[in-house]
A and B are shown apart, each in its own frame.
Chain A
Amino acid sequence: MLVVELISGRTLDQGATVEEKLSEEYSKAVNYIELSEEDFKSLGLKEGDRVKISTEFGSVVVFAKKGEIPKGLAFIPMGPYANAVIDPATDGTGMPQFKGVMAKIEKTEEKVKTVRELLEAI
């Protein structure tokens, strides 16, 4: 188990598949988390492993990847997986806090849901 600061954002893959949300390619483009090499190792992960992200606002299972990112920070592509765990509070601006939520990351054997299953679970 590890606590990181989670940010979401755009990626090329997410953008290129955003008009095909029900496709396999889109799922792949958004259903992962990037961790620093150090954090990745400390969780004993290898490529293709799954992790459960839990925040005050929900939890979601995604694939884990090593990324070029500082230790203690994690990146998840914007989309339904990210939105299961980000902070919906807008502080009066209308804008949820899509970036910067404390998240617990743990290795899991649970499966990664499809976008349909994610929607059903809400």
Chain B
Amino acid sequence: MEDVICTFCGSVCDDGEFDAEKKKVKKFCRLGSAKFSEKERIKAPMVDGKEVSYETAIEKAAEILVNAKKPLLYGWASTANEAIRLGVILAEKLRGVYDQCASVCHAPGTLAVIEEGLPGATLGSVKNRADVVVFWGSNPAEAHPRHGMRYSISAKGLLIKDRKQRKVVVFDVRPTKTAKMADLFIQVKPGYDYAVISALRAILSGNADVVPSEVGGVAKEKLLQLAEMMKNAKYGAIFYGLGVTQSRGRDRNVENAIKLIQLLNRTTRWIIWPMRGHYNVVGAGEVPAWEVGYQYAIDFSRGYPRFSPAEFSAVEVLKRKDCDAALIVASDPAAHFPAAAVKHLKQIPVIQIDPFPNMTTLLAKVVIPSAVYGIEAEGTAYRMDGIPLRVKKILETSYWTDEKILEEILKRVEKLKG
């Protein structure tokens, strides 16, 4: 089977070849190959560790959710839009909280969008037009292994033909694998991204004289060199990663970078885009945005959506012990949240929907296994740049899809609520 679509990272490569007999995928990277390889699954639905039917598990899940005063519905980055939509509607109906993985990943970038907007482009535009590409606090060699080849570093574009016609810059606190592919590597002191961007803005706006000889561990000459390179680009792109959103400054770092982009666009063309992690973390924000107006950290306790990351992000809700049940879909907060947040998750009834056993399985009261989108189920996903792709079903399964499970839970919830 050709044109198989990978449901691992935000690059969502769609040129895979799947050998149904050997159950192996060709062309994909190590992460994609791992995605398509067979691995341990949750065997059957479980309540309190005992195997039960889908119907029983769903009944129990609905009961927990309806009896909760304020359930947290979290996850959503590794499932299809069809399931996400049902999750949002379920959260609204239950007057709970909807939050998604971006909350601990790229959501500070969303806050920066609220401050300054998002001057961006699709990956295909970058591939075809960009003569300078900057990876800033992002490391595609380890997190999005084919990004460089397909879209950004060595991609063969229509107007920019190959690696030779493109300059690559990497900003990071350490010499990453991506840094080794760069024409220019700029090592920043951890937590000094904001200052470095400010220095670049100063130089580009004609105020180089106020920039000290060194900023955030970077020599002024290097900043001048980079500013010159940016100014001379015909079409430049910054791809930023968690090095920016998860370190000191968070959203303010991104906001400052967007201001830099605004400035550059006065004389040439530049875009900026986040290197989103999970294959459909974009959908996990886009779907609630059209359904209820916000991307994440949404509370429905008043019957209408309210957005406030300081209050309604999963980590804050859990740290405050402000939820009395949780539905976790396609995610593993027990592994990926700080201990202070996991603590409360251990105290409340947790329902998990996921194809694979993980740390959240260990603390869940109800576990409902599901089909893997892109392999066992079809659905819509948004690549990191918002391009929609319909991921495919290439293998039969007896597992239910997230969509079907959530549809059934929603039906039971509606019935129980009367």
Residues of chain A touching chain B, judged by Cβ–Cβ distance below 8 Å, are 5, 7-12, 15-17, 19-23, 57-58, 67-70, 73, 75, 78-80, 83-84, 86-88, 90-100, 115-116, 119, 122
Contacts and interface: CB of A to CB of B under 8 A. Distances in A.
Interface string B164-178: 000000000111000
Contacts of A22: 40, 357-359, 361-362
B309 interface: yes
Interface majority SS on B: helix, strand, loop or mixed? helix
Nearest to A22: B357
A96 to B, nearest CB: 5
B43 interface: no
Interface in B314-356: 314-316, 319, 332, 334-343, 346, 355-356
Given A90-B309, A98-B247, A100-B190, 10 more contacts: A15-B34, A19-B355, A22-B361, A73-B190, A78-B336, A90-B313, A94-B315, A95-B103, A100-B247, A115-B335
A19 B356 contact: yes
A115 B359 contact: yes
B248 interface: yes
B363 interface: yes
10 contacts: A90-B316, A91-B250, A93-B108, A94-B309, A94-B315, A97-B250, A98-B246, A100-B248, A115-B359, A116-B362
Contact of B107 (A15, A94, A98): A94
Kindly state the interface size class of chain B when it binds its partner.
Answer: 35 or more
Contact of B310 (A7, A12, A94, A100): A94
A16 B31 contact: yes
B401 to A, nearest CB: 17
A122 B318 CA distance: 14
A91 B310 CA distance: 7
Given A7-B190, A19-B39, A97-B248, A80 B174 contact: no
A96 B359 contact: no
Contacts of A96: 104, 246, 315, 337-338, 341
Given A16-B30, A68-B174, A98-B242, A9 B139 contact: yes
Contact of A95 (B142, B175, B250, B319): B250
Given A7-B190, A88-B319, A94 B313 contact: yes
B412 to A, nearest CB: 28
A92 B334 contact: no
Contacts of B312: 94
B30 A83 contact: no
A93 B115 CA distance: 13
A14 to B, nearest CB: 8
B280 interface: no
Contacts of A87: 338
Contact of A83 (B250, B339, B362): B339
A112 to B, nearest CB: 16
A7 B335 contact: no
Nearest to B35: A19
Contacts of A21: 332, 335, 356-359
A87 B358 CA distance: 23
A83 B31 contact: no
A28 to B, nearest CB: 14
Contacts of B273: none
B339 A58 contact: yes
A119 B359 contact: yes
Nearest to B362: A119
Contacts of B142: 10-12, 15
Contact of A93 (B99, B190, B251, B342): B251
B8 interface: yes
Contacts of A84: 339
A44 to B, nearest CB: 23
Contacts of A17: 34
